[in-house]
């Protein structure tokens, strides 16, 4: 009785080459494809690609329009918030002499309380 022997590297290479040649022979044995069928397939593929490109462009335009609408809405909301805020009065800048007089008045009031 013969024992099992692992195939050597050379054996595996030969088997792979045989399998590759067999696949090539099988492919070559098929009937050649009609050029009209090839042209039809190519036209169908191009039509599909054009439809997909058009769909992508429409989707992109829709997304851009939605973003612009959102930005316009945000700007309008911001304008409404700014209009609703109470008007803040500007601080009056006092001259150094007026600041000194105010400080002296506070000091005098503090002295008077004691």
Q: Does the global pTM surpass 0.75?
A: no
Question: Domain spans of the chain?
Answer: 33-85
Q: What is the reported pLDDT for 33? A: 77
3-state secondary structure of 47: helix
3-state secondary structure of 110: helix
pLDDT at position 56 over 80 = yes
């Amino acid at each position: 009785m013969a024992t099992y022997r692992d195939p050597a590297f050379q054996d595996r290479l030969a088997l792979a080459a045989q399998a590759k040649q067999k696949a090539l022979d099988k492919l070559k044995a098929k009937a050649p494809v009609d050029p009209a069928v090839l042209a039809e397939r190519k036209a169908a593929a191009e039509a599909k690609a054009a439809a997909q490109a058009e769909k992508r462009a429409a989707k992109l335009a829709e997304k851009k329009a939605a973003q612009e609408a959102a930005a316009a809405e945000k700007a309008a909301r911001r304008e409404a918030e700014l209009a609703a805020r109470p008007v803040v009065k500007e601080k009056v800048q006092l001259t150094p002499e007026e600041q000194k007089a105010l400080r002296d008045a506070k000091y005098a009031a503090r002295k008077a309380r004691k």
